[in-house]
Every structure is written in C-alpha cells, then in structure tokens.
C-alpha cells in the first residue's frame, strides 16, 4: 500500500493558539453528532463498544483526540497529557482518512503497521467495521455543516487539496 | 462409569503396539478402540499386529471397536474404511464421511473428532444407528449435560474425553514433516521419532501444543480427574483415555480408582507420579481455555 | 461462466460486491450462528432483507451462512436464523451441522441448502452422504484438497462444488479445529470466532511489537515492521530440540500467507467446479470491491479461454505472500 507523504513535521510541533484545542473539539463533536443522527447504524454496530473511549493519535497532527461515542463527544487534548482510554489507534493522517473513507482496507492498514492499535482490540475492530459500513464522506459532512456558498467552496477546495496531497478527503476519491 | 481406551494417536513400532495391547488387556478398562486414527501412511508398519491385539483383548473380556481415520481423503483410505465395516467388529467413525460405507441397519460408534455439539446431531446419528458417542473435547459441561440426557433418551451411551493430549486439529499438511523441512509425501516417517508427539512452545517459552503428524494436540494432558462427580451426575457413562508412552496401565488404574470414588487431589498426585514432568489441564469442561491448568 | 461468490460483512460491503460484479454474495447474522461473529460485523434481519432486495434488483443472489454448530440446549437460535434467512429471500443457506441441516431439510423443504466448508466434507463419500440424507445442492470444499482430488471428487458426486480462490487460508481442516478454544475458550465451531479480538493484545516491548493471544506471545516483530494478527495457526512457535533434530523457531504450521488461486481458475473450471469463493467477510468494502472486480475479470477471461490476468491483486496481497495452498500437492 502506498499512502501519501505525512504532513510536515512543523504541523505537529506548532504551538497551539489559545483555545484552539477546545474549538477543534467542539467542531469535531458537532460533526460526530451530525453523523450519529444521520447514521444511527454506526452506533448500533458499535454495540457494547459505544461506551468505549477511543484515543485517536494522529501522529502528524497537533493534538490527541479522545472520542466517546456514547457521550457523542470528541475532545482535543495536548500531546503531553494523554487521557485515560480503552483503546488507542495511532497513525498518520493519511492512514486515518484512508480508513474513514474506505479507500484502504482496515485490516491491511493495521497489519502493515500504518495504523497501530493498543488496548481493547475488539473495540477497535467494531469501530472500524461500523465506520466502513457507514460510507462516510468527511467533505460532504463538513460541507453540510457550512452555509452556502461556503459549502460549494469547501467541496471544491477539498477536491483540489485531495488531488494535490493524495489524501482521501472524501468518499469519491479513492487512492489509485 | 467405565473406561474406554482410545486409538493410539502416535506412530509406534509394531512391537510397541503389541506390547501395549498385551498390557491393556490386564487393565480394568471396559473397552478398547483400535486402528490408525491419524495417518494412513503409518498403517502398513503395524497393521499386522491388529488381529493379535484384538484376540488378546477379546480374550481378556474387553469390548473392542475399530477406528476409522480422522480425515479420510484418498481413495485408498476410503477403501480401507469400507473394509473396516466388513471386519465383524463394531466400527467407531472418526470422520463423518465413513458413514457412507455403513452397512444397512448396522450399529456404529462415534469418536471425539466427529462434531457432535447438540441434540439435533446426536438424534440424527442415533437414527442412523449410533449406539455410543465420545463427545468432542472442547465441549463445556453445560453441553455435556444436555447431550447425556439426549443420549439416554435416544439409547446412545455418552463418553467424554477423560485423559490425554486432546486432538485439537487435523490437516492435509504434515507439520511433523514440515518441522524437518519435508513434504508429507516424502516425510520419511519422522513422526515415529516422537512417541508422544513433538512439543511446541510459544515464543515466550510456554508449553503449548504437540505436533503429531497431520494432527495437532494440546501440550498439557487434558484430565477430568477433578470433574468426575459432575460427569457422573450428568449421566456420562464412560471416560476416554488416550494412549501415550510410559506407564499407561498405571494411568488407567488411576482413573479406575477415580470412578470407584477416589478423591481428585489424590488422583492428580498419582497421575503426576506416573507421568513425571507432565502438565495437566482441565479448562474445556469448565468452559475456560482448554489449556487451563488442572488442580 | 463460473459463479463468483463474494463476502459481505456489512450492508455497504454487500452493495460494493454486487456493484463490482459479484454473481452471489454471502453474509451472516450478527450473532454466534455464523463463523465470522466479529465485533461490528454482520447483518440484522432488516439489513438482510434490504441486501437481498438490492442484490435481486441487480441480478445477484444472497446466501446466508449459518455455519457454526448449534449449542446443546440452545438450538432455537440457529433454527430461527434458518427460518429468518428463508423468509428474507436468501437464495440458499450455508450450513455445517448435521443436526441443523436435518432440521432445515425438514422444516424448510423448499429452501436450497449448501454444505459449508466448516462441515469439512473432504471426500465423495462424505459429500454423497450429505446429498442423499438431506438433499444438499452444493458443497464448499475444504481447503485441504489438490486440484486433482477436486477433479476426482466431481466425477463421483452429482451436486455442485464451490472452492475458495482468494483470501485467508485455514491450514487445518475447517470446522475440525479447537486451537482457538485451547488458548482462549472461544472456538469457531461454538462461538463463530477464531483467535478472537477480545483476547488479542498488541504491545510495544523493548523496541519490538508483540502480539499476544490469550496472554501467549504469538508474534514479535521489530518496531515498524508489519505485525500480523495473532491467528494461532499462523503464529510463530518454537519446537525445542529432540534427539533427532535441532530446535526450530518459526511458523510451524503456516506462514502468514493468504490464498490466491487466480492462476488455477482454468484448471478449476476444467475440474468441474461451479463456483469460486472469496474469503473475507471481515474485510472492508473497498477491499471487497477491488477483489471482486479482479475476479470477475478473471472468470470472464476463463470463460473465453483467455489467459488469467496477471498481478491483478498484487496490491491486496502486498506485505503478505500469496500461496496456491493445498491446491498444489507440494503444500503438504
């Protein structure tokens, strides 16, 4: 599998502006709630693992994310303070996006080491399978949260960014 | 509750086999199942001992049944299976396909490598003529209880895996040969070098499995020594003891005492004395990992 | 044309398989009635009905695998699964347990029955036994047979055969393996899981990635190298030295390879095989779509007597060696 290059190192070392983490958390929580409302099957597929706390460690990103499906909450936290969690997934942004958009097989991402898991392996499998079934499209979801004409701009920008970077930013653009 | 000595799982010399059955004739076991259970390539080396062994065992008052192979694929193996049914002794099927050769209306027995997990299958086998079933080793007590009741209702005697390295898997590939970088068809009978199978450990040094040709077994010896009362209560009528090298007659004696009421801790101590260095497991019946230590 | 039977662990994967050219899709209910009882996977009754409708509208069929061995005292769950699959319009159910098959044949005489690979019917006698006793219409052959043996079997039986051509590879006779319950207490036959994720732990120890199953170390690889899933029969073990041979450490049963029998498709067709099966209900919809597209092209090529497209799936087996498994005799 060939994933695109990682994000520049600068990105993960950048000091965060004040309130950036809470703002990111709020935005992602809003996104999660929208997805949960529109695609309740994700939660039913998670089954008992809805209550699990997933630590998402995007290694070329600036913060750690803690996702709590049952509470419909995503919290952004500084790297130096990893919160208690049940399962952790670590990897580059490109790998997460590829899994989220189904452009790469989750099994292949895990077993090639692109994504590393620790903690409750069952919870991670349940999450992966639930996401795969949901056929998510992050660009589409984000655009839906934006007001016109910003939604159209967002789609175009995402398309362009995906072409330039090779990152899977929406469902329709599988990596070749 | 009585004792059944299962077929020899390992590749022993003809002489070892004939000695073994002479000894078994003197034990308190009620019945003996005899035949090549694992690999048909081994059979020519010891089959000439089978008639004599049967004669000795019958003369000693044992019931004797003939076992089929656990995995029948080749034409030769199918022919041998068909011949077993014509030998005039009860046949224990170790592969369900053997039933195709069952003469109309004949009775048969079912070994532990046939998947009998529920009443439906037990009743179907009973309708086909099964009179005795040794249940798969991995079944928990809750299932054994249900199946023993169903067996009693259908006129089928229910036996459980009482002692020995449990048969965990069978394959088209020979792992013994593979360990010596050989293919199955050019194995040079390396499995004969390990009379109790070749031991396999995990990377962190835990005794784990035993390779026996195309068969994979547990490393620890499964024992129901600590669970006899529950099995009797459930209506299980026989314990299967699986042959191994060493003082197996002594092992049979321990189980005989157990069925006569000897307490488990004493029995385990005696087993340990007769099998120096062996480890014992009893997880399957408890619904736990099969390798869970006994005692 | 040979029929392509494709896996679906989720409704999205079912749609992906159908869209990619699957003739038939197989799936299971989200409980221990099927042998891929994994977290987050499988179908509810509603999802199955929707899946059947989606497939039918596009000329494809759905099979439902109910291929574990019913629990003594708990058979009703399996009986209900057969009834619900029938009701949902499944083209056939894939069963392994003789008792359950007897029940299905009696309670649903018009339901088409396939014999699961988990029944390990590895010779014509076993297959004919099931065919005669229960009216089984198709057998999924165990992955322990060579192409020659498959040819010979087809000469002696009257029902259809289906063989695996791609994906995970059981090295033991399927449905006859208790390695998983030996280490974890949970087995394919009873619980529909093998080396279950609930007992898997990945950990970084002293610069190595370690994968454990039930607490036992099954794989250790240097950090950064791929970490295989700790499936027991593909694990790394040590056989200590004996009188006759040195100690061996390695993949004593099977290397972590996957099956790819693409090149054998023409031979399998000649052997009289009706359907080709792709393993992988636990894989993503993207994987399913790619594999199905590739195999659809392959069976179309085989139909025209054209050579098999080479390297079609190199990307999907990348990082993992592929093998033709037992189909070639040398594997043994």
Same domain? For C11 and C40 the reply is yes
Q: Tokens at residue B108, please?
A: 């048969």
Indicate whether this model's pTM tops 0.90.
yes
Residue % of chain C over a pLDDT of 70: 95
Closest Cα to residue A6, out of A91, A106, A110? A91
Widest Cα–Cα separation across chain C: 65
**Residue B128, pLDDT above cutoff 60:** yes
Shortest CB distance from C214 goes to which of B150, B200, B289? B289
Q: Does A92 touch chain C (CB under 8 A)?
A: no
Question: If you count residue pairs, one on A and one on C, with CB atoms under 8 Å apart, how many are there?
Answer: 104
| CA distances (Å), origin A149, targets A34, A144, A155, C241 | 20, 11, 10, 73
Rounded to the nearest angstrom, the minimum Cα separation between C38 and chain A is: 8
Chain C, residues 286-315, CB within 8 A of chain A, namely 286-287, 315
Residue A124 belongs to some domain of the structure: yes
Contacts of C287 in chain A (CB under 8 A): 105, 107-108
Residue A164 belongs to some domain of the structure: no
Cross-chain residue pair C238–B201, CB shorter than 8 Å = yes
- pLDDT confidence band for C264 (50 / 70 / 90): very high
Q: Does A42 touch chain C (CB under 8 A)?
A: no
Rounded to the nearest angstrom, the minimum Cα separation between C172 and chain B is: 4
Q: Does B245 touch chain C (CB under 8 A)?
A: no
Report the first-to-last Cα separation within chain C, whole angstroms: 31
**Residue C328, pLDDT above cutoff 90:** no
More confident residue, A170 or B67: B67
pLDDT in tens, C165-177: 999 888 899 999 9
Mean pLDDT for the stretch of residues C87-101 = 98
- The answer to whether B191 is annotated as binding is yes
Shortest CB distance from C39 goes to which of A1, A105, A129? A129
pLDDT at A176: 34
Same domain? For C46 and C101 the reply is yes
Same domain? For C83 and C19 the reply is yes
How many other CB atoms are there within 10 angstroms of residue C307's CB atom?
Answer: 10
Shortest CB distance from C237 goes to which of B170, B174, B208? B208
Q: Nearest chain A Cα to C314, which residue?
A: A1
Phi, psi of C224, deg, nearest 5 = 100, -30
For an interface test with C, the pick among A55, A91, A92, A105 (most C C-beta atoms closer than 10 Å) comes out as A105
Q: Tokens at residue A74, please?
A: 């995503």
**Residue C120, pLDDT above cutoff 50:** yes
DSSP string, C272-316: T--EEEE--TTS-HHHHHHHHHHHHHHHHHHHTTPPPPTTTTHHH
| CA distances (Å), origin B162, targets B228, B231, C307 | 9, 10, 55
| H/E segment holding residue C48 | helix C45-57
Cross-chain residue pair C179–B117, CB shorter than 8 Å = no
Shortest CB distance from C202 goes to which of A44, A118, A174? A118
Mean of per-residue pLDDT scores for chain B: 96
Helix axes A150-165, A138-145, angle to 10 degrees: 150
Rounded to the nearest angstrom, the minimum Cα separation between A44 and chain C is: 8
Residue C174 belongs to some domain of the structure: no
Contact in structure between C332 and B185 (CB atoms under 8 Å): yes
Per-residue pLDDT of chain A (176 residues; tens, 9 = 90+): 677 877 777 666 666 676 778 888 898 999 999 999 988 999 999 999 999 999 999 998 888 999 999 999 999 998 888 999 999 999 999 999 988 888 888 888 887 888 989 999 999 999 999 999 999 888 888 888 777 777 888 788 888 788 777 888 887 544 33
Cross-chain residue pair C144–B95, CB shorter than 8 Å = no
**Residue C131, pLDDT above cutoff 80:** yes
- The answer to whether B39 is annotated as binding is yes
Chain A, residues 127-166, CB within 8 A of chain C, namely 127-130, 132-135
Enumerate residues 6+ apart whose C-beta is below 8 A from B277. none
pLDDT at B229: 96
- Dihedral over Cα of C112, C117, C119, C124: its sign: positive
Cross-chain residue pair B120–C70, CB shorter than 8 Å = yes
Contact in structure between B217 and B9 (CB atoms under 8 Å): yes
Residue C79 belongs to some domain of the structure: yes
Q: Tokens at residue B2, please?
A: 């009585």
d(CA B197, CA B11): 9
Closest Cα to residue B20, out of B9, B12, B28? B12
Residue % of chain C over a pLDDT of 90: 78
Cross-chain residue pair C99–B121, CB shorter than 8 Å = yes
Chain C, residues 206-225, CB within 8 A of chain B, namely 214, 216-220
**Neighbour-count burial of A8, counting CB atoms closer than 10 A to its CB (0-12 exposed, 13-18 middle, 19+ buried):** exposed
Neighbours of chain C (3+ CB pairs under 8 A): A, B
End-of-domain residue from the set C224, C250, C276: C250
**Neighbour-count burial of B291, counting CB atoms closer than 10 A to its CB (0-12 exposed, 13-18 middle, 19+ buried):** buried
**CATH, range B2-166+220-286:** 3.20.20.70
d(CA C66, CA C166): 21
Residue C145 belongs to some domain of the structure: yes
- The answer to whether C233 is annotated as binding is yes
Q: Which residue has the tokens 């899709």?
A: C25
**Neighbour-count burial of A72, counting CB atoms closer than 10 A to its CB (0-12 exposed, 13-18 middle, 19+ buried):** middle
d(CA B151, CA B242): 22
Instruction: Annotate B110-178 with three-state secondary structure.
Output: ECCCCCCCCHHHHHHHHHHCEEEEECCCCCCHHHHHHHHHHHHHHCCEEEEEEEECCEEEEECCCHHHH
The CA radius of gyration of chain A, in Å to the nearest whole number, is: 15
Phi, psi of A88, deg, nearest 5 = -130, 140
Contact in structure between B213 and B191 (CB atoms under 8 Å): yes
Mean pLDDT for the stretch of residues C320-325 = 72
Structural domain count, chain C: 2
Cross-chain residue pair B198–C329, CB shorter than 8 Å = no
Chain B, residues 59-88, CB within 8 A of chain C, namely 70-73, 75, 77-78, 81
Contacts of C69 in chain B (CB under 8 A): 115, 117-118, 121
Structural domain count, chain A: 1
For an interface test with A, the pick among C27, C31, C40 (most A C-beta atoms closer than 10 Å) comes out as C40
d(CA C130, CA C187): 24
**Residue C213, pLDDT above cutoff 70:** yes
Widest Cα–Cα separation across chain A: 43
Q: Nearest chain B Cα to C152, which residue?
A: B75
Residue B98 CA, chain-centre distance (Å), reads 17
**Residue C320, pLDDT above cutoff 80:** no
Q: Nearest chain A Cα to C221, which residue?
A: A113
* Residues spanned by the domain of C35: 3-169+257-331
Same domain? For C202 and C272 the reply is no
What CATH number corresponds to the domain at position A45? Answer: 3.30.1050.10
d(CA B256, CA B250): 10
* Residues spanned by the domain of A77: 9-136
Shortest CB distance from C40 goes to which of A45, A107, A111? A45
pLDDT at A174: 43
Same domain? For C7 and C147 the reply is yes
Same domain? For C54 and C165 the reply is yes
Mean pLDDT for the stretch of residues B141-167 = 98
Same domain? For C223 and C292 the reply is no
d(CA C74, CA C122): 28
Closest Cα to residue C81, out of C30, C15, C123, C134? C30
For an interface test with B, the pick among C70, C139, C181 (most B C-beta atoms closer than 10 Å) comes out as C181
d(CA C234, CA B153): 42
d(CA C24, CA B49): 52
Residue A78 belongs to some domain of the structure: yes
End-of-domain residue from the set C250, C270, C301: C250
Residue C197 belongs to some domain of the structure: yes
Cross-chain residue pair B193–C243, CB shorter than 8 Å = yes
**Residue C315, pLDDT above cutoff 70:** no
d(CA C29, CA C20): 23
Contact in structure between C83 and C140 (CB atoms under 8 Å): no
Rounded to the nearest angstrom, the minimum Cα separation between C153 and chain B is: 10
pLDDT in tens, B233-290: 999 999 999 999 999 999 999 999 999 999 988 999 999 999 999 999 999 999 999 9
Cross-chain residue pair C12–A135, CB shorter than 8 Å = yes
Range name among A37-41, A151-155, B72-76, C238-242 with the lowest pLDDT average = A151-155
Residue C189 belongs to some domain of the structure: yes
Same domain? For C103 and C130 the reply is yes
Cross-chain residue pair C40–A46, CB shorter than 8 Å = yes
Same domain? For C244 and C112 the reply is no
Same domain? For C75 and C191 the reply is no
**Neighbour-count burial of C305, counting CB atoms closer than 10 A to its CB (0-12 exposed, 13-18 middle, 19+ buried):** exposed
Rounded to the nearest angstrom, the minimum Cα separation between C40 and chain A is: 4
Cross-chain residue pair B173–C332, CB shorter than 8 Å = yes
pLDDT in tens, B15-56: 999 999 999 999 999 999 999 999 999 999 999 999 999 999
Q: Report ipTM for this prediction.
A: 0.96
- Look up residue C327 and give its DSSP letter: G
Shortest CB distance from C40 goes to which of A116, A117, A125? A125
Q: Does C331 touch chain B (CB under 8 A)?
A: yes
Angle at C279 between CA A87 and CA C163, to 5 degrees: 160
d(CA C226, CA C209): 9
End-of-domain residue from the set C203, C220, C250: C250
Same domain? For C202 and C321 the reply is no
Helix axes C11-19, C285-303, angle to 10 degrees: 30
Enumerate residues 6+ apart whose C-beta is below 8 A from B162. B3, B223, B224, B239, B240, B241, B255
Cross-chain residue pair C10–A132, CB shorter than 8 Å = yes
Chain B, residues 110-149, CB within 8 A of chain C, namely 113, 115, 117-125, 136-139, 142-144, 146-147
Helix axes B119-128, C98-107, angle to 10 degrees: 90
Closest Cα to residue A73, out of A60, A85, A62? A85
Q: Tokens at residue B225, please?
A: 């020594």
pLDDT in tens, B89-126: 999 999 999 999 999 989 999 999 999 999 999 999 99
Q: Does C257 touch chain A (CB under 8 A)?
A: no
Q: In b/e form, how buried is each residue of C73-87, taking b as 16+ CB within 10 angstroms?
A: eebeebbebbbbbbe
């Amino acid at each position: 599998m060939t994933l695109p290059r990682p994000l520049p190192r600068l990105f993960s070392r950048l000091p965060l502006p004040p309130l950036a983490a809470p703002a990111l958390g709020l935005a992602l929580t809003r996104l999660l709630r929208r997805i949960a409302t529109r695609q309740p099957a994700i939660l039913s597929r998670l089954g008992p693992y809805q209550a699990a706390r997933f630590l998402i460690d995007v290694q070329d990103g600036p913060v750690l994310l803690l996702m709590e499906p049952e509470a419909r909450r995503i919290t952004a936290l500084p790297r130096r303070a990893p919160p208690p969690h049940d399962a952790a997934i670590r990897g580059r942004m490109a790998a997460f996006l590829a899994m989220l958009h189904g452009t790469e097989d989750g099994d292949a991402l895990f077993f090639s080491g692109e994504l590393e898991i620790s903690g409750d392996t069952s919870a991670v499998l349940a999450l992966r399978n639930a996401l795969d079934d949901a056929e998510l499209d992050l660009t589409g979801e984000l655009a839906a949260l934006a007001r016109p004409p910003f939604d159209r701009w967002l789609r175009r920008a995402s398309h362009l960014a995906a072409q330039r970077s090779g990152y899977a930013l929406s469902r329709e653009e599988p990596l070749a | 509750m009585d004792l059944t000595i299962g077929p020899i799982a390992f590749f022993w010399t003809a002489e070892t086999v004939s000695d073994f059955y002479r000894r078994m004739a003197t034990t308190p076991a009620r019945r003996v199942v005899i035949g090549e259970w694992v690999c048909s390539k081994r059979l020519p080396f010891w089959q000439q001992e089978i008639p004599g062994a049967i004669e000795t065992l019958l003369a000693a008052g044992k019931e004797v049944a003939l076992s089929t192979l656990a995995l029948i694929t080749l034409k030769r193996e199918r022919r041998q299976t068909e011949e077993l049914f014509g030998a005039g002794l009860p046949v224990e099927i170790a592969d369900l396909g053997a039933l195709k050769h069952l003469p109309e209306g004949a009775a048969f027995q079912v070994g532990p490598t046939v998947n009998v997990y529920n009443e439906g299958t037990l009743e179907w086998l009973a309708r086909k003529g099964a009179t005795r079933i040794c249940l798969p080793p991995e079944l928990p007590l809750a299932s054994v209880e249900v199946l023993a009741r169903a067996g009693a209702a259908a006129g089928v005697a229910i036996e459980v895996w009482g002692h020995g390295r449990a048969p965990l898997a069978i394959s088209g590939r020979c792992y013994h040969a593979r360990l010596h970088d050989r293919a199955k068809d050019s194995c040079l009978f390396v499995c004969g070098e390990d009379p109790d199978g070749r031991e396999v450990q995990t990377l962190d040094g835990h005794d784990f499995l035993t390779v026996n040709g195309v068969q994979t077994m547990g490393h620890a010896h499964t024992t129901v020594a600590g669970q006899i009362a529950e099995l009797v209560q459930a209506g299980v009528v026989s314990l299967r003891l699986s042959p191994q090298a060493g003082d197996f007659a002594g092992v049979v004696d321990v189980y005989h005492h157990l069925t006569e009421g000897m307490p488990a801790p004493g029995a385990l101590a005696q087993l340990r004395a007769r099998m120096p260095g062996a480890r014992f497991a009893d997880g399957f019946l408890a619904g736990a990992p099969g390798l869970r230590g006994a005692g | 044309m040979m029929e392509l039977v494709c896996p679906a662990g989720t409704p999205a994967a079912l749609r992906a398989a159908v869209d990619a050219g699957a003739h038939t899709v197989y799936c299971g209910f989200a409980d221990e009635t099927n042998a891929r009882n994994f977290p987050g996977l499988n179908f509810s009754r509603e999802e199955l009905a929707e899946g059947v409708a989606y497939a039918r509208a596009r000329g494809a069929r759905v099979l439902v695998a109910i291929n574990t061995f019913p629990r003594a005292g708990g058979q009703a769950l399996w009986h209900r699964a057969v009834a619900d699959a029938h009701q949902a319009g499944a083209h056939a159910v894939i069963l392994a347990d003789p008792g359950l098959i007897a029940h299905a044949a009696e309670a649903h005489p018009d339901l088409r029955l396939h014999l699961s690979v988990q029944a390990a019917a590895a010779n014509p006698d076993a297959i004919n036994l099931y065919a005669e006793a229960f009216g089984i219409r198709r057998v999924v052959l165990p992955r322990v047979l060579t192409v020659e043996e498959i040819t010979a079997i087809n000469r002696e039986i009257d029902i259809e055969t289906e063989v695996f051509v791609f994906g995970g590879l059981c090295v033991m006779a399927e449905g006859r393996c208790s390695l998983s319950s030996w280490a974890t207490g949970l087995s394919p036959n009873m619980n529909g899981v093998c080396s279950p994720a609930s007992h898997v732990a990945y950990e970084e120890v002293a610069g190595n990635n370690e994968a454990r199953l039930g607490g036992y170390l099954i794989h250790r690889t240097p950090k950064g190298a791929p970490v295989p899933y700790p499936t027991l029969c593909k694990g790394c073990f040590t056989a200590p030295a004996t009188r006759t041979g040195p100690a061996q450490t390695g993949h004593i049963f099977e290397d972590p390879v996957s099956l790819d029998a693409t090149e054998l498709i023409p031979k399998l067709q000649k052997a009289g095989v009706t359907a080709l099966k792709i393993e992988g209900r636990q894989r993503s919809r993207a994987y399913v779509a790619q594999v199905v597209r590739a195999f659809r092209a392959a069976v179309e090529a085989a139909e025209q007597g054209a050579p098999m497209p080479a390297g079609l799936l190199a990307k999907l087996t990348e990082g993992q060696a592929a093998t033709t498994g037992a189909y070639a005799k040398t594997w043994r």
